[in-house]
Structure 1
Amino acid sequence: MSTPHPGSTPRTTRRTARTLLAGLLVGALTGALVGAVAGQSVAVADPQRVISREVVFTLNNHNDTDVPCLADGQVHTVAGRLVGPREEVLGHAGSTRINILVHDAGTGGWFWNLQGARRYDYAGQLARRGETSLVLDRLGFDASPLADGRATCLGAQATMLHQVVQHVKSGIYEYVERPGAAVPHGAQVVLHGQGVGAAVAQLEAAEFDDVDGLVVMGWSDAGASTDAITEAARQGVECLSDDYVPYGATPEDFVSLLFATAPGRVRRAALDQRNDTPCGDVTSLLGTVGALNLGTHAVEADVLVLQGGADVRHRHESADAQAGRYRSAESVTSRTFAKAGSALPLEKQAPKVRRTVLRWLDSTYVER
C-alpha cells in the first residue's frame, strides 16, 4: 500500500473532486442552454405548441383599385386558417405580427400549408420559428367558393385583401369553430405572395398603403417570359366560353410552369389539389400588369423580392429589375435561388427560402 506524498491529495479524493467539478460544469452548461432556449422562445417555438385554426372573413367583392375590371359587388365569405404558436393563434398573446399568405392562379391556400410533407409546409415551418401566418383561400378557390368565375377580378381580389388586412388589424373576423372568441390582432402585417398572388399583394400594398412589409415571390411587373404570356393568352381564349379554366393546358404543363426541383411527392400533391382559375382573374391580368407598371413605385413598405433562377415564367435577372421598381419603399432586398422554379416554397430550395424570409423579418422588424 502506497503512502501519499506529503502535501498531496489522496487519489480517491481527487477522483471525487473531479466528478463533482464535472457535475457542476454539466449542470451549469445545461442551465445556460435552457436559459438560452427560454430566451429565444419568441424566435424558436416549441413544435408541439404550433396549431392551426380555421377562420372566416366577411368581405365585399368590389374593385377600388386602378385595375379596369368589374366584380359583382356582393358580400362573400372568404376562408383562411391561422397557423402559428398556440398562444398567438388563440389570441392569448394580444397583438402580434401576422403574415398573410396569398396564393397564385391554379393553386390555393394549400400551397403555403402543404400537408404530408413537413419540409415544404411554409406556414408550419415559419410557425416553428415563432411566426403566425394567415393562409388565405382567395375568392373562387377551395373553401372560398364563387359560383360564377367572372364575378370577381384581380382588382377586387386586391380590394378584398385590403379588407382582410384591416380586419386582421382590428380583430374583425372569426374562428369557424369558436365564433365570438378573441382572435389575434396584427400589430404588424406582412403580405407574402407568389405568382399572381404576389401581383395581388403588391397591388394592395401600392394602392392602400396599410401593410408593414411585402414578400414578392415569382413575380415580375415587366419580365414575363414567352411561356407565361402564351399561357395567359391560352387561358384568355378558353375564358371566352367558360367561367373557370385550368392553369396549364395539361397536368404536365402545370408542373413545368411552376416547378424545377420539387420532389415527385410534392408535385403529385400539387396536382391532386390543383384548382381552376376564375376567368375574371384571367381577363384582368393584363390590366393588373399595367396598373403595377404605373404604381409599383408607390409601395412604401419594406420589400423582399425572391426569384428562382430556373423560373420559366420570367426572364433571367428579373429579380434585380423588379427590386429596382420599388423607389418609395423603406428598404428593398432581392435574392435569386439558382436552379429553383417559380413555386419557391415547394422547391428543394424551400429551407433556404424560409431562412431568407426569417432573416429578413428579424432584421427588418426587430420589435414583434
Structure 2
Amino acid sequence: MFGKRAATVVTGVLALVGIAVSQAPTVASEDAPATAPATAPVAQANTVAQRAATAADGEVVDLPVSFTVRNVNNTRSQCSVDGETYTIRGHLTAPAEVLAQPDPEITLYVHGTNTGEWIWRLGVDGHNYTQELAARGHASVTIDRLGYGSSDIPDGFASCSGAHAEHAHQIVQQLRSGDYTVTGGEPTAFSRVYLAGHSSGALVAETVAVSYPDDVDGIILTGWAAIGLTGETNRRFLGAYERCLNGGEPKNEPGDPAGYVYFDGTPEDFLAGGLSPDADPRVVEAIEPLQPRNPCGVMVSEPMGILQDLELVDDIEVPVYLVFGEKDVLRQGVQSYPGLFTSSGDVTDLTVPDAGHFLPLDINAPMLFDGVAGWLDKHR
C-alpha cells in the first residue's frame, strides 16, 4: 500500500513543479473600480445546524441536506479511488419563494482543499456567502467534500480530485431529480443547476463540465486558475507532499482515519495564504481555528489534474464566470486564463481589488456577491 501511495505522491509533485504559465488571448472583463468599500464582519463561524432567517424579500430557508455518493471516478481526470459508498453533507440555503417556483434553479458550491463548507457560511456579518446570495434572490447548496467537516471521513488516500468531481456530478443529478435528504423539509427537484467552486473546488467544477457536458447550465470559478501558480503555492505543496509521502496524519485526533495533512505548514501561513493584509481582524479570528487537514489522495492528485485540465478546458461549452483576487498570493499572472475557454461563447471575469484567496471572506466581498448574483440573473 505504501509503495502505491508513494508513487502517487511522486507523480503529483513532479507534475506540480512542471506546470508552466500558459498564454492565451484575453477576453472581456467586468470593470472594477480601483477601490471599493470594505465590509464590516462580526461574530464567529456559525455551527452546522438548522436555521431560518428573514431577508428583506421574505423568508430564507436554511436546512441541512445529505447526498449518497459512490466513490468512483468516471471523469476525464483519472486517479485512484476505493469504490465505496459515502454520505456528503451540507446545507440548502434559499429564498422560500425560489423553492416554490415551477422551474427553480440552484447553484452547488464546492470548497477548495484548504477550507470547508464554512467558507460559504461563515457566521460573520457581511461574509456569509449563502445568506448574501439568498438576499439577492438565489438558492445555494454548499457541501463539505469527502474527508472534510460533517461529511464522511475515510482514509485520506481513498479518494482523489477526479473522484470529487464525480461526487459533484452525482449530487447535481440528485438535485435535478430531488433524490436527496433534507432535514426538516422536503427535497426540491431543480430545473437548472449551476456549479461553483473556490480554489481547487473550481478544478472540480471544470472537470464536471468537461466530463459531463449536459450536467450543468454554467460554472462559476473563484480564486482559481490552472496557471499562475506562485512560489508560495509550490512551497506549501512541497511541504504537504513530504508529509503525505510519510503516510500523513490522523484527520483530527489520534485514532481518526489517517492520510491527512495541512496544506499550510503553520497557522500563520494559513491566514497569509487565504486573506489579504486588509482583511478585517474579526474574520481572521473567526477562521483561525478552522484550518483543516486535507486528504492526501486529493492533494497529490491535483497537480496531475491541473495538467489534464489545461488539455481539456477548451472543451467546456457552458457559460463560465471567473472571479480573481487582486492580492491572491497563491496565484498571479492569471489574466490569460479566461481565454483558454475557447469552446464557450460566454466567458466573463472579474478581479476584486485588494482581495486575497478567500474571496467571500476578504475585503470587498460584496463585489463577489453582486457579481455572481448578476451573472446568475443574466442566465436565468
| TM-score bracket, shorter-length normalisation | 0.7 to 0.9
The letter of the residue matching 1:57 is F
Q: Say which one has the larger Rg.
A: 1
Query: Is residue 299 of structure 1 aligned with residue 304 of structure 2?
Result: no
**Partner of 1:51 in structure 2?**
61
Q: After superposition, what is the alpha-carbon deviation per residue over 1:191-236, rounded to whole angstroms, capped at 9, x for unaligned?
A: 1111111111111111111111111111111211111122112111
Task: Tell me how far 1:176 sits from its aligned partner.
Answer: 2.8
Task: Tell me how far 1:161 sits from its aligned partner.
Answer: 0.4
8 A contact 1:107–1:270 mirrored in 2: no
**Partner of 1:315 in structure 2?**
332
**Partner of 2:143 in structure 1?**
136
The letter of the residue matching 2:152 is P
Identical aligned residues as a percent = 32
Q: Secondary structure at the match of 1:77?
A: strand
8 A contact 1:94–1:184 mirrored in 2: no
Measured in 2, the distance between the counterparts of 1:48 and 1:264 equals 31
Q: Secondary structure at the match of 2:61?
A: strand
Task: Tell me how far 1:274 sits from its aligned partner.
Answer: 2.0
Query: Is residue 341 of structure 1 aligned with residue 356 of structure 2?
Result: yes
Task: Tell me how far 1:145 sits from its aligned partner.
Answer: 2.3
**Partner of 1:186 in structure 2?**
190
**Partner of 2:283 in structure 1?**
266
**Partner of 2:266 in structure 1?**
250
Measured in 2, the distance between the counterparts of 1:145 and 1:268 equals 27
Q: Secondary structure at the match of 1:143?
A: coil
8 A contact 1:93–1:184 mirrored in 2: no
Task: Tell me how far 1:356 sits from its aligned partner.
Answer: 1.2
8 A contact 2:354–2:363 mirrored in 1: no
Query: Is residue 68 of structure 1 aligned with residue 95 of structure 2?
Result: no
Return 5+ residue gaps in structure 2 as ranges: 1-53, 249-258
Task: Tell me how far 1:45 sits from its aligned partner.
Answer: 5.7
Measured in 1, the distance between the counterparts of 2:210 and 2:285 equals 35
8 A contact 1:95–1:184 mirrored in 2: no
8 A contact 2:105–2:190 mirrored in 1: yes
Task: Tell me how far 1:63 sits from its aligned partner.
Answer: 1.1
Measured in 1, the distance between the counterparts of 2:237 and 2:152 equals 22
Structure 1 residue runs of 4 or more that deviate by more than 2 Å after TM superposition: 44-48, 91-95
**Partner of 2:200 in structure 1?**
196
8 A contact 1:195–1:217 mirrored in 2: yes
Measured in 2, the distance between the counterparts of 1:327 and 1:171 equals 33
Measured in 2, the distance between the counterparts of 1:275 and 1:265 equals 19
Task: Tell me how far 1:98 sits from its aligned partner.
Answer: 0.2
Q: After superposition, what is the alpha-carbon deviation per residue over 1:65-110, rounded to whole angstroms, capped at 9, x for unaligned?
A: 232311111110111110011244xx53343110111101121101
TM-score normalised by the chain length of structure 1: 0.82
**Partner of 1:148 in structure 2?**
155
The letter of the residue matching 2:313 is T
**Alignment map for 1:105-254 (pairs within 5 Å):** 105-115=113-123, 117-178=124-185, 181=186, 183-209=187-213, 210-240=215-245, 241-242=247-248, 243-254=259-270
**Partner of 2:365 in structure 1?**
350
Q: Secondary structure at the match of 2:308?
A: helix
Q: Secondary structure at the match of 1:56?
A: strand
RMSD: 1.6
Number of aligned residues:
314
Query: Is residue 286 of structure 1 aligned with residue 286 of structure 2?
Result: no
Measured in 2, the distance between the counterparts of 1:63 and 1:271 equals 33
Considering fraction of residues, name the structure with more helix.
1
Q: After superposition, what is the alpha-carbon deviation per residue over 1:288-307, rounded to whole angstroms, capped at 9, x for unaligned?
A: 11110111111111111111
Task: Tell me how far 1:48 sits from its aligned partner.
Answer: 5.1
Measured in 2, the distance between the counterparts of 1:80 and 1:339 equals 30
8 A contact 1:118–1:124 mirrored in 2: no
Q: 1:194 to 1:272 in 2, by over 3 A?
A: same
Q: After superposition, what is the alpha-carbon deviation per residue over 1:284-343, rounded to whole angstroms, capped at 9, x for unaligned?
A: 011111110111111111111111111111123x0x311001111130001112211111
Measured in 2, the distance between the counterparts of 1:85 and 1:233 equals 43
**Partner of 1:6 in structure 2?**
none
The letter of the residue matching 1:192 is A
**Partner of 1:329 in structure 2?**
344
TM-score normalised by the chain length of structure 2: 0.80
Task: Tell me how far 1:118 sits from its aligned partner.
Answer: 2.4
The letter of the residue matching 1:341 is G
Task: Tell me how far 1:139 sits from its aligned partner.
Answer: 0.6
Measured in 2, the distance between the counterparts of 1:68 and 1:125 equals 36
Return 5+ residue gaps in structure 1 as ranges: 1-43
Measured in 1, the distance between the counterparts of 2:195 and 2:362 equals 20
